[in-house]
């Protein structure tokens, strides 16, 4: 059914209709409902862009201690990198200092943050083998003055094997992220983007962090393999890092046109309760286009639902962190 607003605005786009149906999906945070006068899709988008581009309207609390968050799921293509770079950019745009560590040889996070990652560039590989410090490897992102990234080059592809014979092989990243090393960069948040495996790189990320953020794609088989991931987290907790815990689950690539997306959402919420962010990331072309331009969706299309949803998700993470600390 085509809809027209009372002021004769054109049909609502398919994406927006889907958003309205989805209800809980973020990015449709409009002041005026679609059926009310003066609502147009363009006005809606402009309102969202204003919210994203004017951080002074939204204060995010700085955490009382530095939060190190590993973004992990051994399933490929579930939105780990997209979540890492967009959450990091959202927090950075809102005044918090953020360090992203690209721990995937594919180097996708480095690309999205506009950071050089050709072979030979100082990277996380040299950090892991102890040649350089984290601040020597950190490069300024084009996405925000508050955002730096330790890039991953293709050299990291051999690191899993090289690490096997090294001393304290599971704690190389933790040692590199010592409070003294991080004090040089002073980040409020550190996000570690993991590769799609449970190998030594992901174990290093889990040993170095306090929190795990698990992105779950709203698709068939979404929960497959999650048991194995949780068991690995428990093993790391028991033997290597007692302070590690799953703090956040984020549902990604939600498509309101499918019943399946709702089924997965309900199942994940039943299983993980309050750990699941209220914000759900919608499937959006803008989100997938942004890395091709060396950007996050927050700068590529700040008025898009994708940008708004990542802004909402990052606010939830920041506010939850603040609550946890005041307890
Ligand atoms: N909300 C979204 N809407 C549309 N496309 C998305 C969305 N989130 C991610 N994508 C696309 O899905 C693909 C996989 O996303 P991403 O690279 O973030 O996943 P990943 O878990 O990091 O993958 P890998 O396991 O390979 O590291 C990418 O092409 C990305 O652009
Ligand atoms: Mg990735």
Best substitution site from 73, 74, 78, 82 to test ligand 1's pocket, by max atoms within 8 Å of Cβ?
82
pLDDT (tens digit per residue) in 36-63: 556 676 666 666 766 666 666 667 889 9
Query: Which tokens in the block code for residue 306?
Result: 């994708």
DSSP 8-state assignment for residue 277: -
**CATH number assigned to the domain with residue range 58-326, chosen from the 4 options 3.40.50.300, 3.30.70.1400, 3.20.20.70, 3.40.50.1820:** 3.40.50.300
Gap from CA of 117 to ligand 2 centroid (Å): 15
The ranges assigned to domains in the chain are 14-53, 58-326
**Element spanning 165, H or E:** none
Protein residue closest via CA to atom 15 of ligand 1: 79
Query: Token pair 């592809």 is at which residue?
Result: 157
Confidence of residue 223 (pLDDT cuts 50, 70, 90): confident
Q: What are the tens digits of pLDDT across the range 237-258? A: 999 999 999 999 999 999 988 8
Please state, in angstroms and rounded to a whole number, the distance separating the CA atoms of residues 18 and 28.
10
Please name the helix (run of DSSP H) or strand (run of DSSP E) that holds residue 316, with its range, or none: helix 305-326
Instruction: Render 25-86 in DSSP notation, one character per residue.
Output: BTT---SS-TTSTT--HHHHHHHHHHHHH-GGGS--PPPSS-EEEEE--SSTTSSHHHHHHH
Q: In angstroms, rounded to a whole number, what is the distance separating the alpha carbons of residues 317 and 314?
A: 5
> Which two structure tokens, joined as six digits, stand for 73?
């799921």
From CA 41, how far away is CA 20, in angstroms rounded?
12
Separation in Å, CA 126 to CA 66, 172, 246: 24, 11, 28
Q: Which ligand is nearest to the CA of 85?
A: 1
pLDDT of residue 252: 97
Band of pLDDT at residue 222, cut at 50, 70 and 90 = confident
For residue 154, pLDDT over 80 is answered with yes
Q: How far apart are CA 204 and CA 183, in angstroms?
A: 20
Phi, psi of 63 (to 5 degrees): -70, 150
With 50 as the cut, is the pLDDT of residue 79 above it? yes
pLDDT of residue 47: 67
Task: For strands 139-140 and 147-150, give the pairing.
Answer: antiparallel
Please compute the mean of the pLDDT values over residues 118-146 and round it to a whole number: 96
What residues line ligand 1, using a CB cutoff of 6 Å?
Answer: 76-82, 104, 108, 196, 252-253, 281, 283-284, 287-288, 306
Q: What is the pTM of this model?
A: 0.87
C-beta of residue 314 within 8 angstroms of C-beta of residue 91: yes
Report residue 18's pLDDT band, with 50, 70 and 90 as the boundaries. Answer: very low
Which atom of ligand 1 sits closest to the CA of residue 290?
31
Cα dihedral 326, 318, 233, 200 sign: negative
Dihedral, CA of residue 214, residue 216, residue 222 and residue 225, to nearest 10: -10
């Amino acid at each position: 059914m085509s809809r027209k607003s009372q002021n004769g605005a054109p049909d609502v786009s398919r994406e927006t209709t889907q958003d309205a149906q989805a209800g809980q999906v973020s990015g449709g945070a409009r002041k005026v409902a679609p059926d009310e006068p003066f609502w147009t899709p363009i006005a809606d988008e402009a309102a969202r862009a204003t919210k994203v581009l004017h951080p002074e309207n939204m204060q995010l609390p700085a955490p009382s201690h530095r939060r190190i968050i590993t973004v992990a799921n051994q399933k490929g293509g579930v939105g780990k990198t997209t979540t890492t770079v967009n959450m990091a950019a959202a927090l950075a745009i809102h005044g918090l200092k953020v360090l992203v560590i690209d721990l995937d040889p594919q180097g996708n996070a480095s690309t999205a943050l506009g950071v050089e990652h050709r072979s030979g560039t100082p990277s996380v590989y040299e950090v892991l083998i102890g040649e350089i410090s984290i601040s020597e490897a950190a490069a300024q992102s084009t996405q925000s003055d508050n955002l730096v990234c330790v890039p991953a080059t293709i050299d990291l592809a051999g690191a899993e094997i090289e690490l096997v014979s090294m001393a304290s092989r599971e704690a190389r990243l933790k040692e590199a992220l010592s409070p003294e090393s991080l004090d040089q960069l002073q980040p409020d948040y550190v996000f570690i983007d993991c590769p799609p495996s449970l190998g030594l790189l992901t174990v290093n990320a889990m040993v170095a962090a306090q929190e795990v953020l698990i992105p779950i794609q709203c698709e068939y088989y979404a929960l497959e393999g999650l048991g194995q991931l949780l068991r690995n987290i428990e093993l790391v907790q028991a033997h290597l890092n007692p302070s590690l815990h799953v703090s956040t689950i984020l549902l990604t690539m939600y498509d309101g046109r499918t019943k399946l997306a709702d089924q997965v959402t309900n199942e994940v919420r039943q299983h993980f309760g309050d750990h699941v962010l209220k914000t759900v990331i919608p499937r959006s072309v803008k989100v997938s286009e942004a890395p091709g331009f060396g950007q996050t969706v927050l700068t590529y299309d700040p008025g898009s639902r994708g940008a708004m949803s990542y802004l909402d998700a990052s606010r939830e993470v920041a506010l939850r962190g603040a609550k946890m600390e005041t307890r």
